[in-house]
Amino acid sequence: MIDHQKHLLKQKFFVYAECYKKVKKMLGARKIPRDNGEMIDLIYQENCKKLDEESQKLYQTNLTYRQYVNLFYRVSMLEDFCLDFNNTFSINEIFFKKRLIKKTKSLLREIQNDINYLYDCISDIIKHKESVDMRDIITLDYQHKERLYDQYLDQFEKQFKKQFKI
């Protein structure tokens, strides 16, 4: 019986640690530079490798195209991390308290709203074929939500520490 309890505790610890790591990655991907220069200066090598030769040249020389590709890459990464966290958390909901489950579902809805908003901004870049001021995309309201997300992380961490008496 004691071995079974130890196994469950180890499993629970692993679940908490894995979910915490994934939510941190997701929220980290959401932090997109507001500074135009910083956003344009980012050259994602992974992006370049996926582009054909002509697109690679365009990426290197056309700032609007680089801004579009960089933003699209960040939003795609955010979407992937969100899906990964959602799947991991959903499968393991039994290990979490109802209050955290409710807050997590609310967080995921907000992140999905952010993703939709960012994809709309990307559509505008494509439609107008001109670069945009990143401060028009990453607004103060968008940045303000980071504090709310940080509060969620703090609550998650507190529950984690309380659960395992850390």
Reported as a single tens digit per residue, the pLDDT across 70-127 is: 899 899 999 999 999 999 999 999 999 999 999 999 999 999 999 999 999 999 988 9
Higher pLDDT, 110 or 58: 110
Helix axes 2-30, 98-128, angle to 10 degrees: 30
Helix (H) or strand (E) holding 79: helix 63-91
Please choose, from the candidates 43, 35, 34, the residue with its C-alpha nearest in 3D space to the C-alpha of residue 69. Answer: 43
Neighbours of 132 (CB within 10 A): 18
Reported as a single tens digit per residue, the pLDDT across 129-139 is: 887 888 899 99
Reported as a single tens digit per residue, the pLDDT across 3-41 is: 766 766 778 889 999 999 999 999 999 998 887 777 766
For the entire predicted model, the pTM comes to 0.87
